[in-house]
Structures are given as C-alpha cells and as structure tokens.
Amino acid sequence: MAEVSLNIEAPVDAVWAVLADGWSYAGWVVGASHIRDVDTGWPKPGARIHHSVGPWPLVIQDTTEVVRCEPARLLELDARLWPAGAARITFTLEDRGQFTHVRMAERVVRGPSTLLPDVVQDLLLTPRNRETLQRLKALAKGRQ
C-alpha cells in the first residue's frame, strides 16, 4: 500500500471543503484532466465523480465512487482507471490546531495492476500521491 502524509497549514474545514467539492477533483488529483459530472450528494457513499484521465486526445473516461465518508475526518474512494483496474484510496484528516495532518493511502484492488509487486506499485504511486497532496494543500490554503 502506497502511503503518504502532509501537514497542511489550513484548518480541517478548509481541507475538507476541497475534498467535498467534486468539481475540484481535477484540480488536485494528479492525472485527472476533466470533470464531466458529479453526482448529487457527493461525497456521500455511492456518489460518483465522472472524470477523464490523461492528456487530450488520449483521455480515458471513468469514474471515482465514494465508499465511505466521515465528514472532516475520512474519505474512502474506489478510483477506477480502465483498463489498468481500480484502486482504493483513503484520505484521513487529523485536526492539529494550526494545521491539518492529511494521510493518503492507496492500494490497487482490481485489474491487471494487481499483478505488480507491492514494491513496484509503491514506486509508481508514491511520487504521484505526494504531488496530489501538495495540490490539495494549495487549494485548501487558498480557501481559508
């Protein structure tokens, strides 16, 4: 499981506001290039973001679905990327007064990517997820 964390100099509510805004997804998730639609009720379990991944014109149309949500504390997603498979991504937020500690954990759960050894998955996912948290940080700081 690829796991990264970051302290964000913003209150937990500002960080959560970015995660709870499905339309902002392409602004902080590395690889997401366009949001086509966001289900009403995002980020309630079962709600989906319909997104495109990759550079135009080589985009893949797919979805990310909320598996579990505890507002301002936890968001667990099932992120599909056909034909590679799908990953389970969990964001955990911890209010630490002047800042928010965010942990992002990702593991491949379906598809051909599950055949990659864990160490290879970590090597591929960790840099991308570090950048994802940096982008999340920038948006959260801008909202406070």
The tokens of 126 are what? 């960790």
Segments in the chain forming alpha helices (H):
12-19, 25-28, 118-143
Mean pLDDT to the nearest integer, 49-57: 89
CA 35 to chain centre: 13
Cα(73)–Cα(4) distance, integer angstroms? 16
Look up the pTM and report it: 0.93
Cα(2)–Cα(21) distance, integer angstroms? 24
Cα(21)–Cα(5) distance, integer angstroms? 21
Mean pLDDT to the nearest integer, 33-46: 97
Which domains, from first to last, does the chain contain? Answer: 2-143 (3.30.530.20)
Q: Using one digit for the tens of pLDDT, what is the confidence trace for 3-18?
A: 999 999 999 999 999 9
pLDDT at 144 over 80: no
Q: Using one digit for the tens of pLDDT, what is the confidence trace for 28-38?
A: 999 899 999 99
pLDDT band at 113 (very low <50, low <70, confident <90, very high): confident
Whether the Cβ atoms of residue 104 and residue 3 lie closer than 8 Å to each other: yes
